[in-house]
């Protein structure tokens, strides 16, 4: 069997990705192509575009043909004249071709403008869905990396604690240490085993969370480069980011466009008081084999050309009620815009502060790791010369592991906050994913 070339290339690409480790950019492209939320937004956009076509069609020509055919039977008796009796059956049929064209219909014109404004909302919703994929994928990706780091750190700690436990047992056997040291080492070893089980469970959970975004289970991911320098925000001005977010964040832009759509609702409601003018024309052919009054067959051709004028009066108050309803929704949408701007500003400030503190935190954690490693080396030396205990070494080892975990978390959170900052501002794109992807390595 011959497989399609595209299928072969796709399989080769997936195989190479698995062999060398999937990266953030390749997984983003996969997720964006199959994400249900994106697919839903695409379908909504297509539906919105079709509504524009429908609105435009309301101003076009309406052309059609109608036909009617009837079989008729008449049985007529006059009570006072028994001889006056009619018993007749006849056929009648007619065919009509018609053309109608709105000339002046303000509601149709407003409906076209409103449909175009609603299409813009769908376009923005699609872009927001694509950006949300990038956010969810980045979070899931770095959650997996952090979970992998935790497993690695716990396993390395288990090896170190196992060595300390074996040494404590040897020292106790030769009489150079008490049973207390052995018990403490055994307790630490049991704790590390429990931590390893929890860390492995967390790794499995994060991998399934990543699978939920990408659509497939991936265990081989590219890791963050150890020497990667954490990015600082550009521009380094929080209020500049806030101002941009209040103008360009997707939630704000969608709220603004929703206000525009609701303002068209007001105009459509107001057209309920406007007069309309339509042009109409039709041609009819009617034929029959008789009628209720004669048995003679007939045929008739007729035509009509004219205009129809209509001017409604709002006697019941329904139109005014619809106008007031639309105006109230306009006020609601204005308040929604303000709420969206405040939320966008808060999200930007939160991400900006997280990014700037993260950059400083990574540097501090790197220095703390050097200090913890120095302390561990000194403690091991002290144990050899008899001025430190086995418990001191275990505590120093635990401190190194904790700082390594904190450093990894700080680095991942810094990169995530950079992406969140751009997402909150409404400018996150594939180029930003590509830039973050450059921090990864096999």
How does pLDDT run across 88-107, given as a tens digit for each residue? Answer: 888 999 999 999 999 999 99
What is the SS3 assignment for 181? helix
Confirm if 168 and 185 have CB atoms less than 8 A apart: yes
The Cα–Cα gap between 226 and 438 comes to 13
Confirm if 154 and 195 have CB atoms less than 8 A apart: yes
Mean pLDDT of the chain: 88
Rg (CA), the chain: 39
Which tens digit of pLDDT belongs to each residue from 262-316? 999 999 999 999 999 999 999 999 999 888 777 788 889 999 999 999 999 988 8
pLDDT of res. 20: 61
Which tens digit of pLDDT belongs to each residue from 381-416? 997 887 887 778 878 888 888 898 899 899 999 999
Going by C-alpha positions, the residue among 242, 427, 257 that lies closest to residue 334 is 257
- 410 Cβ neighbours under 8 A, 6+ residues apart: 358, 361, 362, 365
Residue 174 has pLDDT above 70, yes or no: yes
Confirm if 251 and 336 have CB atoms less than 8 A apart: no
Confirm if 93 and 123 have CB atoms less than 8 A apart: no
Candidate from 8-12, 60-64, 218-222 with smallest mean pLDDT: 8-12
Going by C-alpha positions, the residue among 317, 309, 308, 307 that lies closest to residue 272 is 317
Confirm if 169 and 182 have CB atoms less than 8 A apart: yes
The Cα–Cα gap between 283 and 95 comes to 8
Q: What is the mean pLDDT of residues 118-130?
A: 95
Please return the burial class of 351, using the count of CB atoms within 10 Å of its CB with bins 0-12, 13-18 and 19+. Answer: buried
Q: Cα dihedral sign for 174, 192, 144, 349?
A: negative
Going by C-alpha positions, the residue among 43, 39, 35, 13 that lies closest to residue 215 is 35
pLDDT of res. 6: 39
Residue 368 has pLDDT above 50, yes or no: yes
Residue 3 has pLDDT above 60, yes or no: no
Residue 13 has pLDDT above 70, yes or no: no
Token pair of 88 as six digits: 């007749």
Q: Tokens 């466009």, residue?
A: 257
Query: C-alpha angle with apex 305: 299 to 306, nearest 5 degrees?
Result: 135
| Cis amide leading into 235 (omega within 30) | yes
- 194 Cβ neighbours under 8 A, 6+ residues apart: none
Residue 433 has pLDDT above 90, yes or no: yes
Q: What number of helices (H) and strands (E) belong to the chain? A: 10, 6
Residue 7 has pLDDT above 50, yes or no: no
Q: How far is residue 370 CA from its own chain's centroid?
A: 42
What is the SS3 assignment for 293? coil
Confirm if 369 and 407 have CB atoms less than 8 A apart: yes
pLDDT of res. 14: 46
Residue 8 has pLDDT above 70, yes or no: no
The Cα–Cα gap between 316 and 421 comes to 53
Going by C-alpha positions, the residue among 25, 423, 435 that lies closest to residue 221 is 25
Confirm if 95 and 69 have CB atoms less than 8 A apart: no
């Amino acid at each position: 069997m011959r497989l399609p070339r595209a299928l072969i290339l796709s399989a080769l690409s997936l195989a190479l990705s698995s062999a060398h480790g999937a990266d953030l950019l390749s997984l983003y492209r996969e997720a964006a192509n199959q994400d249900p939320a994106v697919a839903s937004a695409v379908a909504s956009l297509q539906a919105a575009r079709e509504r524009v076509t429908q609105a435009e069609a309301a101003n076009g020509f309406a052309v059609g043909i109608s036909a009617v055919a009837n079989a008729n039977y008449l049985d007529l008796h006059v009570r006072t004249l028994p001889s006056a009796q009619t018993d007749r059956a006849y056929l009648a049929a007619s065919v009509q071709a018609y053309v109608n064209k709105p000339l002046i219909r303000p509601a149709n014109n407003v409906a076209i403008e409103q449909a175009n404004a609603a299409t813009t909302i769908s376009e923005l919703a699609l872009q927001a869905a694509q950006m949300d994929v990038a956010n969810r994928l980045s979070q899931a990706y770095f959650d997996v990396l952090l979970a992998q780091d935790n497993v690695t750190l716990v396993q390395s700690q288990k090896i170190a604690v196992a060595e300390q436990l074996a040494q404590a047992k040897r020292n106790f056997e030769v009489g150079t240490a008490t049973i207390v040291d052995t018990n403490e080492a055994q307790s630490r070893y049991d704790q590390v085993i429990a931590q390893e089980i929890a860390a492995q469970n967390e790794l499995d959970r994060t991998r399934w969370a990543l699978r939920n975004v990408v659509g497939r289970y991936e265990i081989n991911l590219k890791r963050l480069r150890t020497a990667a320098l954490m990015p600082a925000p550009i521009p380094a001005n929080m209020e500049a980011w806030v101002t941009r977010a209040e103008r360009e964040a997707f939630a704000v832009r969608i709220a603004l466009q929703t206000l525009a759509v609701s303002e068209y609702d007001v105009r459509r409601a107001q057209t309920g008081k406007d007069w309309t003018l339509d042009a109409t024309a039709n041609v009819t052919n009617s034929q029959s084999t008789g009628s209720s009054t004669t048995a003679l067959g007939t045929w008739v051709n007729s035509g009509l050309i004219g205009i129809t004028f209509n001017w409604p009066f709002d006697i019941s108050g329904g139109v005014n009620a619809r106008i007031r309803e639309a105006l109230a929704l306009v006020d609601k949408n204005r308040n929604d815009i303000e709420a969206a701007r405040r939320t966008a500003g808060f999200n930007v400030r939160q991400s900006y502060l997280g990014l700037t503190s993260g950059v400083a935190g990574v540097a501090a954690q790197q220095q703390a790791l050097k200090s913890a490693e120095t302390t561990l080396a000194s403690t091991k030396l002290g144990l050899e010369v008899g001025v430190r205990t086995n418990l001191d070494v275990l505590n120093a080892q635990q401190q190194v592991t904790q700082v390594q975990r904190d450093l990894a978390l700080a680095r991942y959170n810094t990169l995530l906050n950079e992406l969140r900052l751009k997402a909150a501002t409404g400018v996150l794109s594939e180029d930003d994913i590509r830039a973050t992807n450059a921090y990864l390595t096999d």
